[in-house]
Amino acid sequence: MNILALLTDGFGACGGIARYNRDLVTALAQSAVVTNIAIAPRYGETREPLPRGVVQLAPMADRVRWSARAIRLALSPRFDVIFCGHLFAAPLAAALAALTGKPMWLQLHGVEAWPTPGRAIRKATDRAQLITSVSRYTRQQALRWSAIDPARVCVLPNTVDPRFAPGPAPAALRARLGLGSHKVILTVSRLAAQERYKGHDRIILAMPKILTAHPEAIYLVVGDGDDRARLESLARETGMSAYVRFAGRADAGELPDIYRLADVFAMPSTGEGFGVAFLEAAASGLPIVAGNCDGSVDALAQGAIGALINPRDVGQIAAAIVAALNCGAGNALAGQRFAFQNFAQHVDKIVRHRL
């Protein structure tokens, strides 16, 4: 099987979708029934070696040029499957599938699939031979507005990199971040205005109550983006500047150690498709606090891996973080349940029996 992968974020791009795509392509390359994968990304460029049989073309951010290249590639007789890595590109992928007679595989990541989309996207979705969703919640939302046979929509959750595991954090890193002997509440995510649903502001608002129980606590925000200034302003306005550290974006190689220096991971999101950061934190041995109304529920295995609370209730957020700081230990289930080996086996079954 030769696969043409139309991706927004390929190898070398940043963010959760890029990580998911990287893991999925790597797993596909390990399947005995997949021969070659050609990636046509809008974003992402890497000089690192790619998995066996994988070729990634130069990124094309311009939508028109990217679409034109996708058409040229799809018309090549060497591809057997058209993989569409984002719902918003589904009309293009569906048109190419109809033109070439090749099956279309569509990936759903989360919030983009929750509201009812326009007619063109709905029609494109309905003609997919296979849809994979990162969570049951996202699958449920998509089936609400799509007329597709539910049997063609399966859940393929994120996986966690084995680099994330319990261990001591380097003292130099703790000193560089100015953490001293503080207990650390950690959030790792982009600080994007369009992703305010992640709940950084609600943790800042919860800090006074947290400090009443744990005056040594500090909130470490790892990530960067166009919403950082607003969050920094909120910390100043609430008198919490001394208890909130904005560390900026972390290098991928340093991220495992950042988790290791924390005492609890909290991200009370209301719009998470899945939340691979939850898996990374749990695999690192941290207790987790997450919202109970989105794909976070799947990431926390319905509460087996961490605490699920009302993410809009600042009081519940504070109480859950205090309880997590008190207990001081997480559940290592994530490292086993979401191991890459399990993910790769799931992917192999999908390509063998669904395409």
CATH code of the domain containing 246 = 3.40.50.2000
Decide if 166 is inside a domain.
no
- Report residues of the chain scoring pLDDT below 70: 329-335
Regarding whether 235 and 132 lie in a shared domain, the answer is no
58: DSSP letter: P
Regarding whether 204 and 139 lie in a shared domain, the answer is no
State CA 273 to chain mean position distance: 7
Alpha-carbon dihedral sign for residues 112, 117, 121, 122? positive
Domain that includes residue 22, residue range: 2-159+339-353
Decide if 316 is inside a domain.
yes
pLDDT at 333: 64
Structure-block tokens of residue 111: 């919030």
Q: Please, how many CA atoms are within 13 Å of residue 206, restricted to the half-sphere of its CB?
A: 27
> How many whole angstroms separate alpha carbon 296 and alpha carbon 276?
9
CA 227, 232, 236, 238: dihedral to nearest 10 degrees?
50
Regarding whether 312 and 201 lie in a shared domain, the answer is yes
Query: Beta-carbon neighbour count of residue 216 at 10 Å?
Result: 13
Decide if 183 is inside a domain.
yes
Decide if 270 is inside a domain.
yes
pLDDT at 47: 83
Query: Beta-carbon neighbour count of residue 68 at 10 Å?
Result: 12
Q: What is the CA radius of gyration of the chain?
A: 21
Regarding whether 343 and 289 lie in a shared domain, the answer is no
Decide if 202 is inside a domain.
yes
SS (H, E, C) 118-169: CHHHHHHHHCCCEEEECCHHHHHHHHHHCCCCHHHEEECCCCECCCCCCCCC
pLDDT at 133: 96
pLDDT at 295: 84
Regarding whether 218 and 83 lie in a shared domain, the answer is no
Nearest residue to 28 (alpha-carbon basis) of 47, 7, 46, 1: 1
Regarding whether 221 and 346 lie in a shared domain, the answer is no
Regarding whether 242 and 209 lie in a shared domain, the answer is yes
Who's near 100: CB < 8 A, 6+ residues apart? 74, 75, 79, 82
pLDDT at 301: 84
Q: Please, how many CA atoms are within 13 Å of residue 226, restricted to the half-sphere of its CB?
A: 4
pLDDT at 127: 94
> How many whole angstroms separate alpha carbon 143 and alpha carbon 161?
30
Structure-block tokens of residue 70: 């996708």
Regarding whether 222 and 133 lie in a shared domain, the answer is no
pLDDT at 111: 87
Task: Note the pTM of the prediction, 2 decimals.
Answer: 0.81
Regarding whether 203 and 83 lie in a shared domain, the answer is no
Residue environment code for 267-278, b if the CB has 16+ CB neighbours within 10 A, otherwise e: bbbbbbbbbbbb
Decide if 66 is inside a domain.
yes
Decide if 284 is inside a domain.
yes
Query: Beta-carbon neighbour count of residue 77 at 10 Å?
Result: 8
Regarding whether 190 and 97 lie in a shared domain, the answer is no
pLDDT at 335: 60
pLDDT at 14: 82
Q: How many domains does the chain have?
A: 2
Regarding whether 214 and 109 lie in a shared domain, the answer is no
Regarding whether 348 and 332 lie in a shared domain, the answer is no
Decide if 164 is inside a domain.
no
pLDDT at 331: 65
